[in-house]
């Protein structure tokens, strides 16, 4: 029986051709050509003035926090349900993560859950477009503006999503993307920081190149900083993928449609939300089992695994992880974040690879339907 992967890219002859061209010609004086083309095209796609290609989204978050001069004594609000990469860079810069609850429907932060975590020490808010779903940005940005706190958009999982007709990547002081191999648009490993702020852009360019200001040809480092650059081969792959972005996002939405047709009307299971005014690019199709089914993420993962199907748990609340066991903020979050703790143990990411076939989705849904039939 063919094993069904949980994620995976869609690579065509175009990507192979661009990457081969970069591997052949993208060196020395021409090393920057593909990264510059990818940055320009990406900025235009998301509707921002500047884009900086980076080795990962984690490095993009690190640079964004550094450029905002977040540091020791500061607090940064993040959603409790996200990948640890959203929060880890807060500690890289010596600040403290504050884990806010998520909304039960969107699985994202909201003005309500952020308001419960604001303090005199709050220096930034990182909102996450979880699994391609969008928070209510107008409300969130209004609250943040009211408090004078910058928002960063972690759009790692959301290329192609929209809120109020604006693309993911266009919200807040800067937005950060991942092009990891599991993502809708991939460069193998990679990331992008986009912003409209010329000062933030200039600061990021210096920080990501060992403290060399843009245009430095004399190798004079003005400060000790980081080395976060994307290679020509990765950028070539990314440019080819970006030229196919409508096709990639349409395929993600088609895959979600297959699941929705099979599972959407069944009692006991809820899939990703797409509230009015938003467009979900459905990076990972995600199922939440109703409490009365008694089904847990672990049981469902084991049943799928036995049938040759890979899946992933919904993000554990960060505040529940051993990594944060000794953080006082995690203890506060464990007591406060009812939605995160209710949702996470009964939710699962289903296979969502771009190469998934209709009959494979049928196989996955067959297992889920028999579990639901026996449940409760």
Decide if 347 contacts 314 (C-beta within 8 A).
yes
Cβ at position 98, least distance to ligand PLP in Å: 17
Dihedral angle, C-alpha 158, 99, 118, 178, nearest 10 °: -20
Nearer to ligand PLP, 154 or 367 (CB): 154
Bridge-based pairing of strands 151-154 and 174-178 is parallel
Q: Cα-flanking dihedrals φ and ψ of residue 244, to 5°?
A: -110, 15
Nearer to ligand PLP, 205 or 230 (CB): 230
Distances (CA, A) of 111 to 78, 177, 243, 302, 359: 12, 22, 35, 36, 41
Nearer to ligand PLP, 156 or 204 (CB): 156
Nearer to ligand PLP, 86 or 360 (CB): 86
Nearer to ligand PLP, 302 or 323 (CB): 323
Distances (CA, A) of 234 to 17, 61, 108, 247: 12, 19, 30, 20
User: Residue 57, Cβ neighbours under 10 Å: how many?
Assistant: 27
206 by DSSP, 3-state: which?
A: helix
Return d(Cα 76, Cα 65) in angstroms, integer.
Answer: 9
Nearer to ligand PLP, 124 or 368 (CB): 124
Cβ at position 83, least distance to ligand PLP in Å: 4
Decide if 98 contacts 329 (C-beta within 8 A).
yes
Cβ at position 373, least distance to ligand PLP in Å: 33
Q: Per the structure block, which two tokens stand in for 195?
A: 């912003």
**Where does the chain have alpha helices with state H?**
13-25, 33-46, 57-67, 88-92, 111-115, 137-147, 198-207, 232-243, 245-263, 297-306, 328-336, 338-343, 358-374
Cβ at position 363, least distance to ligand PLP in Å: 26
Q: Cα-flanking dihedrals φ and ψ of residue 31, to 5°?
A: -65, -25
Cβ at position 150, least distance to ligand PLP in Å: 18
Cβ at position 154, least distance to ligand PLP in Å: 5
Residues that bind ligand PLP (CB under 6 A): 56-58, 82-83, 85-86, 128, 154, 156-157, 178, 180, 191
Cβ at position 235, least distance to ligand PLP in Å: 15
Cβ at position 314, least distance to ligand PLP in Å: 12
Q: Per the structure block, which two tokens stand in for 215?
A: 């245009």
Nearer to ligand PLP, 122 or 175 (CB): 175
Nearer to ligand PLP, 263 or 284 (CB): 284
């Amino acid at each position: 029986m063919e094993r069904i992967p949980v994620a995976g890219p869609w690579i065509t002859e175009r990507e192979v051709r661009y990457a081969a061209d970069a591997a052949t010609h993208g060196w020395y004086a021409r090393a920057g050509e593909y990264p510059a083309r990818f940055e320009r095209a990406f900025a235009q796609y998301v509707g921002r003035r500047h884009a900086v290609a980076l080795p990962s989204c984690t490095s993009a978050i690190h640079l964004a926090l550094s450029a905002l001069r977040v540091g020791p004594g500061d607090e940064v609000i993040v959603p409790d349900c996200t990948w640890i990469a959203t929060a880890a860079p807060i500690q890289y810069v010596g600040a403290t993560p504050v884990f806010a609850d998520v909304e039960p429907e969107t699985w994202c932060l909201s003005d309500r859950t952020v308001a419960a975590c604001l303090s005199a020490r709050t220096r930034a808010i990182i909102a996450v477009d979880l699994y391609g779903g969008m928070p209510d940005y107008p409300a969130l940005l209004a609250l943040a503006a009211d408090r004078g706190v910058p928002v960063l958009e972690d759009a790692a999982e959301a290329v192609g999503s929209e809120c109020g007709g604006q693309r993911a990547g266009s919200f807040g002081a800067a937005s950060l993307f991942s092009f990891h191999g599991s993502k809708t648009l991939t460069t193998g490993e990679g990331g992008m920081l986009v912003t409209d702020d010329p000062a933030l852009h200039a600061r990021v360019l210096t920080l990501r190149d060992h403290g060399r200001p843009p245009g430095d040809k004399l190798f004079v480092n003005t400060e000790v900083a980081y080395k976060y650059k994307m290679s020509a081969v990765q950028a070539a792959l990314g440019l080819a993928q970006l030229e196919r972005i409508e096709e990639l996002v349409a395929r993600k939405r088609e895959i979600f449609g297959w699941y929705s047709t099979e599972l959407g009307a069944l009692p006991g299971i809820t899939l990703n939300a797409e509230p009015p005014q938003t467009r979900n690019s459905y990076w990972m199709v995600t199922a939440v089992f109703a409490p009365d089914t008694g089904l847990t993420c672990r049981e469902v993962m084991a049943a799928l695994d036995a049938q040759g199907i890979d899946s992933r748990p919904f993000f554990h609340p960060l505040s529940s992880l051993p990594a944060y066991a000794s953080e006082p903020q995690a203890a506060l979050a464990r007591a406060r974040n009812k939605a995160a703790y209710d949702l996470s143990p009964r939710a699962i990411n289903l296979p969502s690879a771009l190469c998934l076939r209709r009959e494979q989705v049928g196989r996955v849904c067959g297992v889920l339907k028999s579990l639901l039939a026996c449940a409760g």
